[in-house]
Amino acid sequence: MSTYRAFEATGVHNLQLVERELVEPAPGHVRLRVEACGICHTDVLTIEGLRSDPSQPLVPGHEIVGVIDAVGAGVTAWQPGERVGVGFLNGQCGECQSCRRGDFVNCAAQEQTGTTVDGGYAEVAYARASGLVRIPEGISAIDAAPLLCAGLTTFIALQQGPTRAGALVAVQGIGGLGHVAVQYARSLGYQVAAIARGKDKEAYARQLGAHVYIDSNSTDPGAALSELGGASIIVATATSGASMNPLVRGLAPNGKLVVVGAAPDPLTIATPDLIFGTHSVVGSLTGSSIENEDNLAFSLAHGIRPSVEVMPFAKAPEAYERMLSGAARFRVVLDAAA
């Protein structure tokens, strides 16, 4: 095969199926045959023209699972035939100041899969070897794909503070990120409060492992958490700053609000809500490739799986629209073999 199919994004809200020439991986990179690619809300950066130059064709998608079929010069730790994943971070350089201090997530020279370099809405993908994640036996490509982003993001967020087993931890939003965050929090041994709008998600939240459900339509979630003694960590996954504003008041002393939902509107927090109780608000991006392997191993050991809707590769535009509508329950995954 000398070519492969890929969906290119150009301009605003324009995905086109094209044939691309198959090339050898660059030094330090690998080429893989894509098995599955999850569709994440962050894909809007590419498809809706929110990147630096939307006129340049780019393949979206950063929840990629595939099999290596070629390695570039200098790659010694990875071999053709290995089953791997690629997440949002496409691999650290190992040379910048952040890398030299071991902070690989904040590498200054790190590309973003599907946002600054081509991603996984394609039959073939390329990635830096330092960004690869080994996929363990026992987990399918369809299930592993969303865990590489939605899973890792929330898994790392829940570890942003020294929280004792049995402490109250809250997850705001039971969607693409939140539905796996509840599973992680329960498996980590916390008392889990799930926060969402309306009563319709309560049964599912409890099925995922929530001990308490808070309907933010009828109850101030900060006040409700405070009545429970306060949460050591609140992971905010909703794409709304306004919905996060009351949460700080629901923190326990020294508690943290960890923001992982990228919202268009700002957070507005009263300074006394930070000062009294020594509360803090932090952002959390994702994790490194080796932390992603930890994440997959933990998920496998505890039976954590995303709720997915599978669509064939050829229907990538429809799959993206399904994600964008908010109707998906809860992650849409492209199956390259379908």
Residue 113: C-alpha distances to residues 67, 117, 133, 299 (Å):
17, 5, 13, 23
Q: pLDDT of 108-151, one tens digit each?
A: 999 999 999 999 999 999 999 999 999 999 999 999 999 999 99
- How does residue 338 score in pLDDT terms, banded at 50, 70 and 90? confident
Q: Does residue 127 contact residue 91 with C-beta atoms inside 8 Å?
A: yes
The type of residue at 292 is: N
Per-residue pLDDT, averaged over 217-241, amounts to 97
Q: How many domains does the chain have?
A: 2
Say yes or no: 117 and 167 in one domain: no
Say yes or no: 105 and 171 in one domain: no
Give the CB-side neighbour count of residue 233, counting CA atoms within 13 A. Answer: 31
Say yes or no: 133 and 11 in one domain: yes
Question: How many angstroms separate the CA atoms of 80 and 174, rounded?
Answer: 38
Whole-model pTM? 0.95
Pairing state of beta strands 168-172 and 191-196? parallel
- How does residue 161 score in pLDDT terms, banded at 50, 70 and 90? confident
The whole domain housing 88 covers 3-152+287-335
The CATH number of the domain where 35 resides is what? 3.90.180.10
Question: How many angstroms separate the CA atoms of 241 and 276, rounded?
Answer: 21
Say yes or no: 18 and 138 in one domain: yes
Q: pLDDT of 12-26, one tens digit each?
A: 999 999 999 999 999
* Cα-based torsion angle of the residue sequence 323, 134, 179, 40 in order, rounded to the nearest 10 degrees: -20
The CATH number of the domain where 221 resides is what? 3.40.50.720
Q: pLDDT of 36-75, one tens digit each?
A: 999 999 999 999 999 999 999 999 999 999 999 999 999 9
